[in-house]
Amino acid sequence: LVGIFQSGDIGFKSQVYLFFEVKTATFRIAIPAIICSLLLDHLDGKKLSVSTVTVYGLCLFEMTTGFAATSLATLLLLGLFMAVGR
C-alpha cells in the first residue's frame, strides 16, 4: 500500500515490489503460508479460522494489485480446492 500511495499508480505492472518482495516471488511465501494455516486449522479441528481467511485475503489483494497472473490463477485454484475440500 505504501508503494501505491507513494507513486499514485495502481495500473497494470505498476507495482514491482510488494508486501512479500518482488511480485513474481510472492508464491514462494503466500501459498505455503496458506497451506500451513490450513494444516493448523485441521490440527485444531476447525473448518476455517480467521488467520487462514486473513492470509488468503492478503495474498489475494497483493496478487491482484501487483497483477502476478500465474500466481493469481494458482491462488484462485487453491481457494476453489479449499472450498470444495471443506
Task: Tell me the mean pLDDT in the region 45-70.
Answer: 81
Task: Tell me the mean pLDDT in the region 30-54.
Answer: 86
Look over the chain and give the mean of its residue pLDDT values, rounded to a whole number.
76
Q: Between residues 20 and 39, which one has the greater pLDDT?
A: 39
For 23, residues 6+ apart whose C-beta sits below 8 A from its C-beta are: 15, 16, 17, 62, 63, 66, 67, 68, 71
What proportion of the chain, given as a percentage, has pLDDT over 70? 65
pLDDT for 59 equals 81
Instruction: Report the C-alpha gap between 2 and 6 in whole angstroms.
Output: 6
Instruction: Report the C-alpha gap between 27 and 70 in whole angstroms.
Output: 9
Whole-prediction pTM: 0.66
